[in-house]
Chains A and B, each alone.
Chain A
Amino acid sequence: MKYLYFIWKNLGRKKMRTLLTILSIAIAFLLFGLLRTLGTAFELGAELSGEDRLATIHKISLIQPLPYSHVTKIQNVNGVESVTHASWFGGYYQDPKNQFAQFAVEGEKYLSIYSDLMSLPPEQLEAWKKNRIGAVVGRATANRFGWKVGDRVPIISTIFPQKNGSYTWEFVIEGIYDVKDARADSTAFLFHYDYYDEAKSFDNGSVGWIIVKVANPDESPRIAAEIDGLFANSFAETKTSSEKEFAASFAKQFGDIGLITTYILGAVFFTMLLVAGNTMAQSVRERIPELAILKTLGFSDVAVLNMVLAESLLISCIGGALGLGFAWLITSGMSEQVAAFLPGFVMGLSVAILGVVLMILLGLLTGILPALQGMRLSIVNALGRR
């Protein structure tokens, strides 16, 4: 620590060079922060899904509906705590570009199964239960369209006409739910299954997918197998998996976003390693006579090694902290605006921790060769080089 001032002074020797190196490292970490946050936003579904929830879908495809009778049958499977279901509505508000997720659900039950993620004020829940055409919407979507409690909103379904032939369904916003984890999705629009099922003109008595809450997560594999066994060889065979697997497999449908961002970041960091390493090597080369004088004054080899390493660490950490900080500012500034399109665009702790680890690694890697060079200096040769 006592050398800190000395190291700091060394950084100021060529201010422009130090500044440029720090800036390029900052950019690398800014990219790291942004891209990792983007990558995790896609993987978030899996991370936030409950251990005790299973998802049952039609074996042929997620879009095939299941008969309602499946719900009651699953209720009787040993170890199942509660069962609910949801159906995709595929609607938009005013313009086909304004798409968001709407689900027809059993309101209270759905919210109670997802109580670890969603919260709705009790008085709004009561009001919702009383209004047949009532709906509850997530904060992000409410903000996106400027909806308030009490608003009447027409939603146009791209799939389901009502019995009167109209594709426009009227809803009243009775509540706005918040999410308990900033990264969770607050875009969904929930409305009563009863209203939906009675009013739509086809596919009545069917549900989109079934959500099963199990009493003991350790029993999930057995319960999943039992559920699928119930409907084997029926006209609507099922595929049941833990919500985590389901979310992970759905995220994979987009392709390996994580892998792509890793490739890009790999290229970025490799470049930065070379740029910063090269700068470090050069600044040590220029200082060889000085280092020799330090040694003549009695500084040990290890002290010289440490000093050079500390310098590169300092550069890397200043740049890294700048970049990550900037990334944090950007993501937290943007997360509300993009929440309606890309929920979970929030920089998590894991990103920050990985960032700090990378900073230290980058600092050590760029400094190690010049540091070793400094350590191995022979005083006589180095002084004579001038």
Chain B
Amino acid sequence: MESARKFAEQFTISLDSEMDFDGWRKAARTLALAGAPSSAVTFLTPSAASQFLFTEASSPLPQPAGDTTFNVSKIFVEKAQTASHHSDPDRYDFLYHLLVRVLDEPNLLRIASDSDIRRLEAMVKSVRRDAHKMHAFVRFRKVGEVDASDDEARYVAWFEPDHFIVEREAGFFMRRFAQMNWSILTPKGSIHWNRQTLTVGPPAKRSDAPAEDATEELWRTYFSNIFNPARLKVKAMQSEMPKKYWKNMPEAALIPDLIAGAENRAKAMVAAMPSVPPPTHAAIRDRHWKGAEMGETGNTLPPPANDLETLRKQAETCRLCPLHEPATQTVFGEGPADAPLVFVGEQPGDKEDISGQPFIGPAGQLFDATLQDAGIDRSTVYVTNAVKHFKFQPRGKFRLHQKPNGDEIQTCRWWLGQELKLIDPDLTVALGATAAQSLLGRSVAVTKERGRIVESDEGQRVFITVHPSFLLRIPDERRKADERARFRDDMIAVRELMAA
């Protein structure tokens, strides 16, 4: 190994502060360019240096042999910088060791199973966790008059982080409490904000921070009451809020008593006999719920309605088939009560189920556009569905349409029959097989009977065509255009039938 021979010499680099990442970076770059192996390099932070009786001056850096620059990935620099805040005294030596390896193996950072990478990731994780806990567990105490405005008051906190993160995390508190005066004091340095500038100060002592704040009494009240004694999980609490943080959290002193009393409180609740309702209960029942139980259950057919609005109301609570439970609501027909032309589709889709209106999803939009092309005024027609609840299969964030079965169509047929009876149109258009089956009471092959007018048992004229959603599902563009034209021709035929 050439470099090992060349560097029998040892380098010791003194850094300016615990967080002197830039100093490390500069020295590390020069040393790496000169080919110094990690075994030949030691970095000293002020705290490590103070353990020696004499202050050690930095060694003169070697002259670079060839290249004067090199590139490492941005992600390495970011991770190294984060890790440099770690309290591990060897962190800068380790980061240099890693730098030397990364120059040799550019993909090293992606090898999660490598032991050096695991160490780096663990350091990064530990610093991030400490930062996160600082965001969480810093407790400000207000200094000044109790009702002092935020212009006059100052909020001061004492916190003990594991790592050198205080300066690093100043931004979080500046963004959050930008319009407050605050200080965060720690044994590893302090930060002060006066609503305009940040000042970094030396390490502080606990006694520098205020000893109390009247609001803490309210906070403790909240903490002890939000706790459910029947769900005691002490380990879960401690893994997220280790005891080392407790001494600086005003609420933590309550924890031992809350735990000690929990079991008895939970047992007492279970053992207590149900009580007699207070007198207010009867008054509330009387005032708010009188007759509420008499309402429609939806489990049986209602008496036939005399108008469409009443029928719509009745349908809202329908539970005659199981489709009502997964669906959001009954999607009833829409349009003038005396419309001469009625369109019947299959069932509402995802959008219709949410909005409660028929034919507003993709198929509905295509239907609207086609009607317009064919010269039929949508506002004069009534649109409805054979089945009035959306039947679907959940798939993640989406719902896949499912065809209603014979029973469901048969059950919902009563509602469609009532709608048609009340509207009494000149012509009804069955869009697709489900609509045709519901209207004619038999299964219909749409491809065979398309364009025909069939008379239903109730004496209504029914025109049969496809459902617009069929047009949306055709993958082949040419065939799609052909089918759309055919559907438009059907609609023109319908218009002509109406004019005749």
A and B assemble together = no
